[in-house]
Chains A and B, each alone.
Chain A
Amino acid sequence: MRLLLVEDDRMIGDSLRAALRLEGHAVDWVRDAASAQATLASERFDFVLLDLGLPATAAPGAETRLDGGLDVLRALRARRDATPVIVLTARDGPGDKVAGLDAGADDYLVKPFDLDELGARIRAVLRRQSGRAESTLAVGGVSLDPATRQVTLNGAPVLLSAREFAVLEALMQRPGALLSRAQLEDRLYGWGEEIESNAVSVYIHQLRRKLGADFIQNVRGVGYSVGAR
């Protein structure tokens, strides 16, 4: 998945980005409210992790506001952008949670939080957003559990790399929908990460080898899909 991380603290941002990448997500990271607004206005993300205490701009002297992230969130929702947002806050008073949720957040986490909990909440929000109640994705004989990151083929476990898993998850989240190579690359790489040419083809090839040649369909020049169209 392609994630936007909005967090001004360098160490927290560093660690979160590394951890999310380990889970196979493409993570873009901005550190102030103005950059977050600009990025969200011009690019599409599957998910946003938004710290509430943000400086307005990256300029020296910009004051950190305790609810600077709320402006970003309000602007996003004002554009009728439904991208799921989890708010990260250092304040655990009910007022801050209420303010965050009312401004359009899908969930919140109070710092310091647990990476496992963050992952679970991200999956729960995505599940709610796609209108599914069950936590596993299933297409044909293949089922994928985003929480345990386990993939089975006709009940037998299949071992996938993080990026193979990310490609398969993207395809299985919307069975029948065509995803272009560029869209898949977006899900795999954040800014500044060098995109290996042909990488998507390599991962598709590996997936076909492990899950069966006809599990992933290819419409030449358009993209890839799984399941009935």
Chain B
Amino acid sequence: MNSIRVRVLLTLLGMLAVVALVMGALTYRNVLGETEALFDYQLRQMALSLRDQGEIAPEQASTLNDEQLDVVVQIWTVDGRIIYPPRLRSDLPSRARLGFADIAVDGKTWRTFSVATGDRVIQVAQPLQIRQKLAADAALRSVAPLFLIAPALALVLWWLAARALAPLQRVTDGVKARDELSLQPLPTGGLPDEVAPLVGALNGLLQRLGDSLGAQRAFVADAAHELRSPLTALKLQLQLLQRSPDDGARAEATRALAAGIDRAARLVEQLLSLARAEPGAVMTAPHTMIGLADVVRNAVAETQPYADARGTRIEVDADAPVLVQGDGAALTVLARNLVDNAVRYAPPGSRVDVKVWNDAGVPTLRVDDAGPGIAPADRERVFDRFYRHAAGDESGSGLGLAIVRGIAAQHQAGVTLEDSPLGGLRVVVRFAE
């Protein structure tokens, strides 16, 4: 049972029990001490008065024999012959010790007080048990109220716990009522100070979840929309292929269909890259020390066929050893997107410069092209996903720079767009030192 109410209740009852035990024990000890002194005094007085009386009157004898009194008187002669009581009782101490004594007979302990007179020994005895019983009764009486109020206390506590925990129940109901579509914050009004921080933290989490979910939804909606164009093209290209009246048209339609499939595949690949580069994406690989020059050479090698097809020359200046902390695959995607963009938007036959170096200790990657460039006013918006800058013949996915910025952010690197001496765009990626 892991209920706070039950635990509080059990703790209270346990504490009550301990208190009752301690109180009972203390009372028992005190009462026992008090009765001891009192009864000892009584025994002594009785014995002394018997000694002073000399004889036991008959009416007194019956009183002394009263079993209820729990006091037993025995009188011996000096030579040990018992003269009182008339009937011998085997369960009584058979010998007297002068003064106070505890004498055990058949497992029963007697408290005795004996005095000697000229010719007799008088012993007054009382079972010790009677004192213990008296003390126990007194202890029990002192503890009894505790046991009486325990159920009432438990009830009150049960109710108090229910009241104190009611806000938690409200929060629980509130959270239960939320689903992935309704992540509005939980109400914080009237919450006790102990619960308010929990709800505040929950609301923070809901807020972040909502933001992340909204971003994901927007991404999926954008992606679905962006996939429509390539799919429309594919469908049309396929139908065109089916309708081709002759071999020439069929060859042309097949070539177009292949290009359409390439385009759709590239878009899907870019979407995946972006999904990995988006803030909040699960890191795909741990960061290690990476040679930036190698990364860039790999990226250029991947883009080379496309550049060759366009007659564009890629000049790589990456001789200095430049190390960055990062995910090699992601950095390759970053570099490839930059080089690919440069080749894509640069006029065919022009030059693309790629440079990697330590700029005053800062690992830096720079890509220059001779394309149309990007006006300063647009340099922030081109990082938005699906923002297509050029309306020309080049069918970019509109994702390249969004991917670049996402990966750069994961590596604490900054991306800036500038004018290139080649006449087009210069992209500079500066990594953390």
B395 in contact with A90 (CB, 8 Å): no
CB contact between A90 and one of B228, B243, B263 (< 8 Å): that residue: B228
- Which one of B95-103, B127-135, B253-261 contacts A? B253-261
Contact indicator A11/B231 (Cβ below 8 Å): no
Of residues 48 through 68 on chain A, the ones whose CB sits less than 8 Å from some CB of chain B are 55, 57-64
Known: A111-B228, A112-B228, A113-B232. A15 touches B391 (CB 8 A): no
Provide the residues of chain A in CB contact with B231, threshold 8 Å. Answer: 111-112
What are the residues of chain B within 8 A of A12 when measuring CB–CB? Answer: 229, 232-233, 236
Q: Let me know if A32 is at the binding interface, CB within 8 A.
A: yes
Please report the C-alpha to C-alpha distance between residue A59 and residue B239 in the assembled complex, in whole angstroms.
32
A11 & B395 in contact (Cβ 8 Å cutoff) = yes
Kindly supply a per-residue 1/0 record for chain B positions 217-241, scoring 1 wherever the CB is within 8 Å of any chain A CB and 0 otherwise: 0000000010011111111110110
Q: How many angstroms from the CA of A9 to the CA of B264 in the assembled complex?
A: 13
**Chain A: which residue is nearest B233 at the CB level?**
A11
A199 to B378, CA, bound (A): 50
**Distance of A90 Cα from B233 Cα, bound (Å):** 12
A interface majority secondary structure: loop
Contact indicator B390/A61 (Cβ below 8 Å) = yes
Instruction: Tell me the minimal C-beta distance from A35 to chain B in angstroms.
Output: 11
Q: Does B194 contact A (CB under 8 A)?
A: no
**Chain B: CB-nearest residue to A112:** B232
Residue contact B390 to A19, C-beta cutoff 8 Å? no
The contact string, 1 if C-beta is below 8 Å from chain B, for chain A 57-99, is: 1111111100000000000000000000000001100000000
Question: Is B375 within 8 A of A15, CB to CB?
Answer: no
C-alpha spacing A64/B237, complex, angstroms: 23
| A102 interface hit (Cβ, 8 Å) | no
A219 interface hit (Cβ, 8 Å)? no
A111 to B231: give the CA distance in the assembly, Å.
8
CB-based contact B225/A90 at 8 Å: yes
How long is the Cα–Cα vector from A31 to B240 in the complex, in angstroms?
A: 20
A61 and B233 contact, Cβ closer than 8 Å, known pairs A11-B256, A91-B225: no
Say yes or no: is A115 at the interface (Cβ < 8 Å to chain B). yes
Cα separation A91 to B232 with both chains bound (whole Å):
12
B391 touching A16, Cβ below 8 Å: no
**Do the beta carbons of A60 and B391 come within 8 Å of each other?**
yes
- A11 lies within 8 A of B240 (CB): no
| Residues in B neighbouring A111, C-beta threshold 8 A | 228-229, 231-232
Q: B386 CB to closest chain A CB, in angstroms?
A: 9
B259 near A11 (CB under 8 angstroms)?
A: yes
Q: A10 and B235: CB pair below 8 A?
A: no
Given A19-B243, A90-B228, A112-B228: A64 in contact with B391 (beta carbons within 8 A): yes
Say how far A81's CB is from chain B's closest CB, in angstroms.
Answer: 26
Q: How many interface contacts (CB-CB < 8 Å) are there between A and B?
A: 87
Known: A11-B256, A11-B259, A111-B229. A58 touches B239 (CB 8 A): no
B239 touches which of A32, A55, A114 (Cβ 8 Å): A114
The reply on B29 being an interface residue by CB < 8 A is: no
In the complex, the answer to whether A11 meets B263 with C-beta atoms within 8 Å is yes
- Tell me the complex Cα distance, A39–B228, Å: 27
Q: Counting CB contacts under 8 A, is A8 at the interface?
A: yes
B286 proximal to A (CB < 8 A): no
Interface residues of A in 162-201 (CB under 8 A from B): none
Decide: A61 near B229, CB < 8 A? Known: A14-B256, A22-B245.
no
B388 within 8 A of A: yes
On chain A, the residues within 8 Å of B252 by CB distance are 18
Indicate if the CB atoms of B239 and A19 lie closer than 8 Å. yes
| Residue pair A15, B236 in contact (C-beta under 8 Å) | yes
Residues of B within 8 A of A9 (CB): 229, 232-233, 395
A15 touching B237 in the complex, CB below 8 Å, given contacts A9-B395, A90-B225: yes
Query: From residue A189, how far is it (CB to closest CB) to chain B in Å?
Result: 18
Which A residues touch B263, using CB under 8 A? 11
The interface bits of chain A over 109-121 (1 if a CB of B lies within 8 angstroms of the residue's CB, else 0) are 0011111000000
Name the contact of A15 in the complex, choosing from B225, B256, B392, B393 (C-beta under 8 A): B256
Interfacial chain A residues near B245, Cβ < 8 Å = 22
List B residues 384-433 near A (Cβ within 8 Å).
387-393, 395
List, in ascending order, chain B residues with CB within 8 A of A16's CB: 236
A59 to B372, CA, bound (A): 10
Which B residue sits closest to A91, measured CB to CB? Answer: B225
Chain A residue at minimum C-beta to C-beta distance from B242: A115
Determine whether B146 belongs to the interface, using a CB cutoff of 8 Å to chain A.
no
- Beta-carbon contacts of A4-28 to B below 8 Å, as 1s and 0s? 0000111110111011001000000
Question: Can you offer 30 A-B residue contacts whose CB atoms are under 8 A?
Answer: A8-B391, A9-B232, A9-B395, A10-B395, A11-B236, A11-B256, A11-B260, A14-B256, A15-B236, A19-B236, A19-B240, A22-B243, A22-B245, A58-B391, A59-B391, A60-B372, A60-B389, A60-B392, A61-B372, A61-B375, A61-B390, A61-B391, A111-B228, A111-B229, A111-B231, A111-B232, A112-B231, A112-B234, A112-B236, A115-B239
| Given A14-B256, A18-B253, 13 further pairs, Cβ under 8 A | A10-B393, A10-B395, A12-B232, A18-B249, A22-B249, A63-B387, A64-B391, A90-B229, A114-B239, A115-B236, A115-B239, A115-B240, A115-B243
